[in-house]
Amino acid sequence: MTIRYGVIGTGALGGFYGGMLARAGLEVHFLFRSDFEFVRIHGLRVDSVNGNFHLPEVNAYHTTQQMPVCDVILVCMKTTGNHLLPDLIKPLLHPESVVVLLQNGLGLEEELSAQLPGVQIAGGLAFICSNKVGPGHINHLDYGKLVLGSHNVSNPEILKQVVNDFQSAGIHADLSSDLRFARWQKLVWNIPFNGMTVVLNTTTDSLMANENTRELSRELMLEVIHGANACGVPLKESLAQQMIEMTIKMKPYAPSMKLDYDFGRPMEIEYIYSKPIETARDAGFEMNKVSMLEKQLRFIQGNC
Amino acid sequence: MTIRYGVIGTGALGGFYGGMLARAGLEVHFLFRSDFEFVRIHGLRVDSVNGNFHLPEVNAYHTTQQMPVCDVILVCMKTTGNHLLPDLIKPLLHPESVVVLLQNGLGLEEELSAQLPGVQIAGGLAFICSNKVGPGHINHLDYGKLVLGSHNVSNPEILKQVVNDFQSAGIHADLSSDLRFARWQKLVWNIPFNGMTVVLNTTTDSLMANENTRELSRELMLEVIHGANACGVPLKESLAQQMIEMTIKMKPYAPSMKLDYDFGRPMEIEYIYSKPIETARDAGFEMNKVSMLEKQLRFIQGNC
């Protein structure tokens, strides 16, 4: 089976992953917003630690109405635009299409599933440092691993095929048997570092160099782990120490929310903070410090 | 009995309260640091909402060694200099002297008492908006109430006399029968607003206008109230709502810690945050959100 891919949101993520698939010869159709005219003329450029490449001609579109129906739709937009998703996705659907939400946070698949009943939905987590540095120009700095998992996909073979396609395109991809586990696990890192780098206007290395914020990061991580546990997701407490040690070894890093804040874009507070807080609360666990960070971020967001 | 006053730290607080006592004809001896030469020549100027005044000649000193012993020593320095207090105070002491710590926070009297065994110590809380705006120049913007309380004063008459002196000098002064209660009560306001205006780089009015920070302020207040309760201090939960409503009605305000931060001075984290956190913890109550705010402030302090 040959999969026809659609990429919604061709930025740091969609440009890299979609670009890698297209370079490997797979059929990929890209939705662009502001970069559409530029890419139609100049193509898509990816500067990657694994080797730069340029795709002079890509299947570029300005609206999803102009795109063909796709077998797998990779959603790579920021979650701050998710209210637009149902209308964006509908023109791409055929009866067997699978939508893959390559986004951070919690509750994404559940929300889209309620908006598009009967549509097969999966989720994915990208462990990558990449940025869009100009129109149709992606800079891939480090990492790149992709973890995919089913939300309600009835045919498990198609996700295996997607993982194979990514692997043949040179991307380290895995299939998780538990998407909720994978989403909560990534939140253990995302919740402390996205919010703290914004509130304290700093980068991960400075947070790790100061004993107060190193300890606070650990406390926030443990709160997320206990929140996950309350929801029946068996994350271990030892994950906090592992992630602290990993972050100490990382190069100075500004997480995506810090970049969003620095560039005046809306922050992904809803799905990275509010939804996990609500989900844990519904399960009887109050994430007090995470909730404090959420309120600080909402104050900052409201004053931008 | 006529009390001879000493004022250690003639800034926003010491300049106002000491100046008011001196204007009323009481004997007041002032310790100045950088303003000493200026005040010796030009005197002390207080611009007050209740009427401006100028004291052309004040008893000004550059060291406490040069000062006479005093009956009542009003400590009006920032707590960030409290490690200097024993050496500063010793030259002013006679066997009946009372030291009054007009400072914010917790554990101040206990610490000084351990450093100066046998010395009579009291505490005071100033409810005032005032700033030092130039050498020997104080601007008193609003309020001014003083609450005094004994820590280990053996002769209760002397504090009554101090209150009388303040009242005859035009200052609303009260004697509290429970200094710990008074200190915790003031912390209910100081803990949320000092720290949050620094961490979120804002003023009280903006914190109150945003529903997230209004709610977070209330949560921090309730945590302090519960911390006090754990220490046997019977503050009521309803105090939180009262203080929120009072703060909503206040003019836009930058608390002293925000001014310290803005002017690059060290912040009073130790006595306003760390000591209350430790005290509540020793009593079995963990102030989680207050502790998070403390760590954020210590990070900011460390990066100044």
pLDDT tens column, A125-142: 999 989 899 999 999 998
Q: Which residues make Cβ contacts (< 8 Å) with residue A182, sequence separation at least 6? A: A123, A125, A147, A149, A176
Q: What percent of chain A is predicted at pLDDT more than 90?
A: 95
Distance from CA of A288 to the nearest CA of B (A): 7
The token duo for B174 is 């009260």
Average pLDDT score over residue span A242-253: 94
Looking at residue A180, what is its pLDDT? 97
- Determine whether the interchain pair A212/B299 forms a contact, defined as Cβ–Cβ distance below 8 Å: yes
Nearest-by-Cβ selection for A300 from B200, B300, B302: B200
CA distance to A11, A256, A284, A300, B289, per residue, from A262 (Å): 17, 10, 35, 12, 26
- Determine whether the interchain pair A292/B292 forms a contact, defined as Cβ–Cβ distance below 8 Å: yes
**pLDDT tens digit string along A1-13?**
899 999 999 999 9
Give chain A's end-to-end CA distance (angstroms, integer): 48
Active site residue A186: yes
B interface test, pick of A222, A295, A301, A304 with most B CB neighbours within 10 Å? A295
Q: How confident is the model at residue A304 (pLDDT cuts 50, 70, 90)?
A: low
Question: Which residues from chain B sit within 8 angstroms of residue A288, using beta carbons?
Answer: 288-289
**Is pLDDT larger for residue A253 or for residue B139?**
B139
A interface test, pick of B208, B226, B289, B295 with most A CB neighbours within 10 Å? B295
Instruction: Write down the catalytic residue from B78, B132, B186, B258.
Output: B186
B interface test, pick of A208, A292, A298, A301 with most B CB neighbours within 10 Å? A292
Looking at residue B304, what is its pLDDT? 60
Average pLDDT score over residue span A141-169: 96
Please determine, for residue A259, whether its predicted confidence score (pLDDT) is greater than 70. Answer: yes
Residue of chain B with shortest Cα separation from A207: B299
Closest listed residue to residue B168, CA positions, set B14, B7, B22 = B22
In DSSP terms, A28 is beta-bridged to A5
Question: Which residues from chain B sit within 8 angstroms of residue A206, using beta carbons?
Answer: 299, 303
Looking at residue B75, what is its pLDDT? 98
Q: Where are the beta strands (DSSP E) in chain A?
A: 4-8, 27-31, 44-48, 53-55, 59-61, 72-75, 98-102, 120-134, 137-150, 173-176
ipTM above 0.90, yes or no: yes
DSSP B119-135: -EEEEEEEEEEEEEEET
Biggest CA–CA distance in chain B, Å, is 54
Whether B5 and B72 have beta carbons less than 8 Å apart is answered as yes
Compute φ and ψ for A130, nearest 5 degrees: -150, 155
pLDDT tens across the length of chain B (304 residues): 899 999 999 999 999 999 999 999 999 999 999 999 999 999 999 999 999 999 999 999 999 999 999 999 999 999 999 999 999 999 999 999 999 999 999 999 999 999 999 999 999 999 998 989 999 999 999 889 999 999 999 988 999 999 999 999 999 999 999 999 999 999 999 999 999 999 999 999 999 999 999 999 999 999 999 999 999 999 999 999 999 999 999 889 899 999 999 999 999 999 999 999 999 999 999 999 999 999 999 999 997 6
Domain segments of chain A: what residues? 4-177, 181-302
Nearest-by-Cβ selection for A299 from B213, B295, B296: B213
B181-302 CATH, one of 3.40.50.620, 1.20.1090.10, 3.40.50.300, 1.10.1040.10 = 1.10.1040.10
Top CATH class of B4-177 equals: alpha beta
